Structure 1
Amino acid sequence: MSNSTSPFTKISEPGHQPPQQTVAVIGAGISGVCTAAHLLRQCLSVTVFERSNIAGGVWHFDDRVPLDPSYPSSTPSLGDYEVSQRGQFSYATPPSERSDETPDEQPTRVEASNNVSDLELQFSPPGPCYAGLRNNVPTYLMASSLSHWPEGTESVISQRDVENYVQSLAEVHGVNTHTLFNTRVDEVKKTPDGLKWELRSVTLEKGEFGVRFIERLSLFDQVVVASGHYNMPRIPDVDGLREWKARFPSRIIHSKQYRNPERYRDHNLMVLGAGVSALDICRELDGIANTVYQSVRGGQYDLPASLLPPSSNRVPEIASFALDNDQRGHRSLEDGQPVPGRIILKDGQVLDNIHHVVIATGYITSYPFLPHLHSDTASITEPGEFLVVTSDGNMAHNLHKDIFYIPDPTLAFVGVPYHVATFSLFDFQAQVVARVFAGRAKLPSQKSMREEYEKRVLEKGLSRGFHSLHLEGKEVEYVRELVDWVNEEHAEEDGKSNDKMKGHSQEWITGYYELKAKMRGLFGDRGVKATAEQAVKGAASSLVKVD
């Protein structure tokens, strides 16, 4: 239905879509792969845009290290790459000899040089996957409906095994053949008539000519954002941190840049953060690093110190970083030499002899290809009815059930919720999107979606926790609501009822509550508030050998 107050004025009535709708899917991680596969099952025309050269998302290990982010973080709209300007790559230098390229597809040419690797890193920054990464949700809870895990798969497995699973889904279900790899989406906006989405993409090509970039404009009926959580690092604004980074850049990294523990052998480290990444890194460093300090702020989702290995010491929040007075001039450090400075904690403790700092403080919500849905000045309490991301970058606003953009539900997001069994939950979201976009399920009116959203805002408040399903039973409840709604509103063809969407199996639900029970035993009263992602390593350790 139309909304006279919305800039998106020509939305088709939900459930009455023309045949063979064209859908763009941004991202080929688990969210994008599941979404594309279910859209293809609904016989829609699908194009997936993946900026790297392979499916797998955060589970693809790339030993290259991403370039440094800003210290402190940039504004959310900037993302983790520099968005090109429209027309920047419109003409080749010299012109391309290809005869099949339209003016909108003419590439720019960059001569082969030592800068090629930097160009690739800037174009498609590697993800946060490190060599020793393992799943922190047991496999029996994080399977897609598209395929079971191979027989005999353990509860906790290697990054490579998880990546193989995602890539197998992409191959078997035809997603790869519908994917433009090495292609980054730089801008998505509605056409002037409000009927289509115009998507501007840039493809990186390598060859004897070096590297060139080809810009293309494409039109789609619907767009699915499946770009994930783990792109733009969140760097805290701690006094003195920027100066440490500027003086000794190789000694301070974000966890997205962490690859293996060996470079830290016999060194002392400070790890900032109390989530899964911080805990994993502390565990990897055990027996390799000398002493590891973990600085925490005492937040709601902090993992208990009891999960830390013997070589790690939990300390309070950091007040400031200070360099010694004689460090005003630039000088490099030998490998075994600590940073000549001190870390002052908020309780007054002073730590020195620190060789490295790893910042594991999470990521910023960012969709740089949707600049009109960003505001880098509006506060989290001021999103209005149209913004998706405000200046804090803590959440995605104005989404119906964390999926459909309320002002124009031809734009959908898959993979927004967290503290969930990721693969499983995102697959359910993908099924819902596919059924709605295919006209097999009807969305509520915009008025109804807005009322439901505002009610949820009143109940949960506007914060990062808005998307969390950590409380026991909330994930099951969320999926049940999706399934009940889709099945209640499912369309009929030729007088026959469509196959209804299936929810969690009884086996899955049993496993979910058994895990929650183990978490209660591990965390005590906090177990009720703990998340599967936060606690599964501790709980699963009684089932399988993790290390």
Structure 2
Amino acid sequence: MEFTQEPIPEIRSERSIGMHGPETPFRHWKVMRDYIAGILHRNHYQDLISYNTTVEHVEKTGDEWKVVLRKEGKKQDYWWSETFDAVVVASGHYWVPYIPAVEGLEQFEKTRPGSVVHSKHFRGRDSFHGKRVVVVGASVSAADIAVDLVDTAKSPIHCVTIGHTTNVFFGDTAFDHPKIQQHPSIAKVVNRTVHFIDGTSVADVDHIIFGTGYSWTLPFLPSLPVRNNRVPGLYQHIVWQKDPTLLFVGAVGAGLTFKIFEWQAVYAARILAGRATVPSQEEMQRWEDERIQTHGDGPKFSVVFPDFEDYFEAVRELAGEGEPGVGRKLPKFRREWFRNFIEGTELRKGLWRRWNAKAKADLEKDGVKARL
């Protein structure tokens, strides 16, 4: 989902073409990296950015925001503070791995350093050649990892999926592979044996890989509470109700990256430029209360799918047209964006189905040969 005025390059890898055909919508991560870098570097925008700088603390003092910054040096770190009229938090919420508490897991890792891995740190199948692996998680990261390991790690790949909610887009198609065995939650880990809540177990486990998502945290903003893996008090996932000089971009899930960031950024920029207004405190609180009623007070609060059009149009209306010739104009939501999104997920599921069918056919063929 590209930005409206910056198309993603039509550069397709041979691997992606081989999997999804010549019109594959997927791009290699390097293409996406260069795409984002190209946007930042045009018109010398990079000169306005301080790289390799950590935001350590943010607090409101009077009418200004005091920001404490740190830059790492070879011999010492450099700390300083600056003041700003406003702060936009665009740090995302997919950077602190969540690993559930499991009895015996810490000891398992201590005795075998590197044996516990989160999907954030997964770098391919090579490290798991011939290893017995348990993958925890029922969403897309766990699915991708499990499928990636079926012909490398010891068979079967043991996946903890039973009783867990699958990804709303992809379902459990990937786990229907003949070299994947599904299990319920882990009860405990004893030495190298993983025990499940149904009384079954897997012995001689080499690695446990967690594809269990992320914890939303704002360590640099201690005055802002994080509750139930979301930030309370954000109107339209953008404006902090208590102080509209604190805004968020990207505080959503399943929202058509990167396009949704563009809509949010335009509204935030227009607020700060005085070209868009913020509703009353009562109206903003009413929006949050109503969303809690329909989506709950947890992670699903921030999920935009499947209401893309409603959300995009609401933000576009709030942002307004802007002054003539100033800023970018947000177009009306086009339903083909939603169709393209769905078609992309179906391509992925179709690939998994083909791989599953081929693997089952190969196993049946091998079984016939063995009987002969």
Q: Same fold (TM over 0.5)?
A: yes
The corresponding residue for 2:275 is 440
Root mean square deviation of aligned Cα: 2.4
Q: Partner of 2:230: helix, strand, or coil? A: coil
2:45 to 175, 178, 188: 175
In the alignment, is residue 198 of structure 1 matched against residue 66 of structure 2? yes
- Equivalent residue letter for 1:343: V
Q: Hey, what's the Cα distance between the residues in 1 that align with 2:150 and 2:259?
A: 32
8 Å CA contact 1:316–1:346 kept in 2: the answer is yes
- TM-superposed deviation, 1:398: 0.7
2:330 to 494, 502, 513: 502
Deviates more, 1:213-222 or 1:287-296: 287-296
Aligned to 2:251: 416
**Residues 444 and 370 of structure 1: CA distance in aligned 2, closer, same or farther (over 3 Å):** same
1:250 match: secondary structure? coil
For the pair 1:317 / 2:168, whether they are aligned, the reply is no
Where do residues 350-365 of structure 1 align in structure 2 (5 Å cutoff)? 350-365=201-216
- 1:294–1:312 Cα contact (<8 Å) kept: yes
Residue 9 of structure 2 corresponds to residue 150 of structure 1? yes
Q: Distance in 2 between matches of 1:270 and 1:179?
A: 42
C-alpha contact (below 8 Å) 2:253/2:304 kept by paired residues: yes
Q: Separation in 2 of the partners of 1:220 and 1:234?
A: 32
Q: 2:200 aligns with which of 329, 333, 349?
A: 349
What's 1:537 paired with?
A: 348
Gaps (5+ residues) in structure 1? 1-141, 324-340, 375-388, 520-531, 543-547
Residue 216 of structure 1 is aligned with which of 80, 89, 98?
80
Q: Counterpart of 1:184 in 2: which secondary structure?
A: strand
2:66 corresponds to 1:185: no
In structure 2, relative to structure 1, the CA distance for the partners of 1:457 and 1:418 (3 Å cut) is same
SS of residue paired to 2:4: coil
The letter for the 1-side match of 2:76 is R
Aligned-partner Cα distance in 2 for 1:536–1:373: 40
Give the letter aligned to residue 355 of structure 1: D
Deviation at 1:503, TM superposition (A): 2.9
Q: Relative to 1, partners in 2 of residues 1:397 and 1:361: Cα closer, same or farther, differing over 3 Å? A: same
Residue 316 of structure 1: how far off its partner (Å): 1.4
Task: Tell me the equivalent position of 1:166.
Answer: 36
Structure 1 residue 306 and structure 2 residue 173: aligned? yes
Q: Which runs of 5+ in 2 are unaligned?
A: 13-23, 354-372
> Secondary structure of the residue that 2:258 maps to in structure 1?
helix
What's the counterpart of residue 373 of structure 1?
224
| Larger RCO (alpha carbons 8 Å, 6+ apart) | 1
Once superposed, which parts of structure 1, at least 4 consecutive aligned residues long, lie more than 4 Å away? 496-500, 539-542
Q: Deviations over 1:2-38 (max 9, x none)?
A: xxxxxxxxxxxxxxxxxxxxxxxxxxxxxxxxxxxxx
Which one of the candidate residues 453, 462, 484 is aligned to 2:297? 462
Q: 5 Å matches for 1:55-70?
A: none
User: Residue 231 of structure 1 contacts residue 363 of structure 1 at CA under 8 Å; is this kept in 2?
Assistant: yes
SS state of the match for residue 298, structure 1? coil
- TM-score, normalised relative to structure 1: 0.58
Amino acid at match of 1:232: V
CA contact (8 A) 2:312 2:333 kept: no
Q: Is the 8 A contact 1:515 1:539 kept in 2?
A: no
Relative to structure 1, the CA distance from residue 211 to residue 484 in structure 2 (aligned partners, 3 Å threshold; closer, same or farther) is same
Write out per-residue CA displacement over residues 116-136 of structure 1, whole angstroms, 9 at most, x where no aligned residue.
Answer: xxxxxxxxxxxxxxxxxxxxx
The amino acid across from 1:158 in the alignment is H
Q: 1:201–1:500: structure 2 CA closer, same or farther, 3 Å change rule?
A: closer
Partners of 1:539 and 1:253 lie apart in 2 by: 28
The CA deviation at 1:540 is 7.3
Whether contact under 8 Å (2:162, 2:182) holds in the other structure is no
- Distance in 2 of aligned mates of 1:497 and 1:176: 23
* Structure 1 residues 452 and 181: alpha-carbon distance in aligned structure 2, compared to 1, 3 A threshold: same
1:433-469: CA deviation from partner (whole Å, max 9, x where unpaired): 1111111111112222122222222222201111112
| Secondary structure at 2:26 match in 1 | coil
Name the residue aligned to 2:361.
none
Task: Letter of the 2:172 partner, please give it.
Answer: A
Answer whether contact 2:129 2:154 (CA < 8 A) is retained: yes
Alpha-carbon distance, 1:146 to partner: 4.0
1:228 counterpart SS class: coil
**Cα drift, residue 174 of structure 1:** 3.5
Counterparts of residues 267-306 of structure 1 (less than 5 Å)? 267-291=131-155, 292-296=157-161, 298-302=163-167, 303-306=170-173
Given the superposition, is the C-alpha separation of residues 189 and 512 from structure 1 closer, same or farther in structure 2, using an over 3 Å criterion? same
Amino acid of the structure 1 residue aligned with 2:319: V
Matched, 1:481 2:351: no
How far apart, in 1, do the equivalents of 2:10 and 2:352 lie?
21
- Matching residue within 266, 272, 275 for 1:431: 266
Cα distance, 1:237 vs structure 2: 0.8
Superimposed CA distance per residue, residues 196-221 of structure 1 (whole angstroms, 9 cap, x where no aligned partner) = 1000000112xxxx332111110101
Mapped contact 2:173–2:349 kept (Cα < 8 A): no
Question: Relative to 1, partners in 2 of residues 1:250 and 1:497: Cα closer, same or farther, differing over 3 Å?
Answer: closer
C-alpha separation between the residues in 2 aligned to 1:373 and 1:502? 30
2:110 aligned partner, one-letter code: A
CA distance in 2, matches of 1:304, 1:455: 28
Amino-acid identity (%) = 26
Contact 1:290/1:311 (<8 A) preserved: no
The change in CA–CA distance for 1:252 and 1:152 in structure 2 (over 3 A counts) is: closer
Structure 1 residues 236 and 434, CA gap change in structure 2 (3 angstroms): same
Asked if residue 227 in structure 1 is aligned to residue 91 in structure 2, the reply is yes
Once residues 414 and 360 of structure 1 are traced to their aligned partners in structure 2, the CA distance between those partners, rounded to angstroms, is: 25
Q: 2:238 aligns with which of 392, 403, 425?
A: 403
Alignment correspondent of 1:132: none
The C-alpha deviation readout for 1:265-298, integer Å capped at 9, x for no partner, is 1111001111111111112213211221110253
Structure 1 residues 148 and 296: alpha-carbon distance in aligned structure 2, compared to 1, 3 A threshold? same
Higher percent of residues as helix: 2
Query: CA contact under 8 A between 2:255 and 2:305: conserved in structure 1?
Result: yes
* Cα drift, residue 244 of structure 1: 1.1
